[in-house]
Structure 1
Amino acid sequence: MECRNYKSIFLSREKVEDCSSVSRNQKSRLCQSKTSYAKSNGNIHVADCHPDSDRGRVVVLGQGGDIINTYTRNTEINKDYLFQPVMIVTTPRDNVIVVDLDTDVFHILNNIGEYSTHYSTNDIAIICALSLAFTPTGQLYIGCTRSLGSTTKEAMIYQVMLSGC
């Protein structure tokens, strides 16, 4: 996968931050990124493609812009499929949910990007999750795309209540 030049703007309730200089100063560049800003510890979690392969990763940047952790996959979940993080969101308890499109699995990471657990959305008949959003009351909305070969013109949105996450 080829990495292109880009400009990233990170948004949070507290501030807007231009982080394009963060990627230029790092040894490994970030590309085609989706971002999530962790609320309490100030770390920035970035779902990113890796420039040298088809595999994705989640890069955790500290408050100073240094890379403090990189999560590349769980070998049990991703033994037959590449890790393709397409969306990332911070939970009310400051964990991070990463949507892995090819496996229909949510990887749950702690606020420094370490694997905690995972959840297969197939278990509740949710497939092709593509976007996530939390309401202020903690309700999770999951937006789904159509599966390959589907002729339906409608995408699905699910409302889910998480516990312990």
Structure 2
Amino acid sequence: MTRDGSVSGYRGLILSSPAPILSQKALIEQFHSAVFLASLPGASATPFRLPAAQGEREFLAPPLVELSLLPGDALAEEQFCVIFTKDLALVMVLGTNAAGAPAFQFSFDPGLVRQAWLQLRSRLHLAKEDYLPNLEALVEQFAPPIPDYRLVSEFGRQLLKRLVRATGGGN
């Protein structure tokens, strides 16, 4: 068992599509990440990077687990992220609403996070994904808790702050 009480040595699990969501070295090292891909296994989900400048050390991220979807799976068109930690679980989806306008939805509700996981799990089961038992163990380790309202409130505040900055509002 590790310092933080986890069996895996990670602080959480992040499942996403179509690309990894973390880019900061300190965070990448702390979370087990897996990406759902429409492409064949072995095709890299890591974007092309130029080599490090002379004299700088290149950061080598932990291996990224690539999970393949069956051909034609509608999930391949979705942009989503499901996060499991000991303190919170979160599902986020970026898509379009019924009118075709961009829409971002998120939920900390353990029931909805569990539903999202079960949908992903069923895809992995159908695709006969060998990594499924590992993910099941991690999801069990970081079972979706009832979130602390302060975390949910802070997430909403930070999201609104960044949205205002991104749209140029609040000047």
Query: TM exceeds 0.5?
Result: no
Q: Which has the higher contact order (CA 8 A, sep 6+)?
A: 2
Which protein is richer in helix relative to its size? 2
Q: TM-score, normalised by structure 2?
A: 0.27
* Structure with larger Rg: 2
Q: TM-score, normalised by structure 1?
A: 0.28
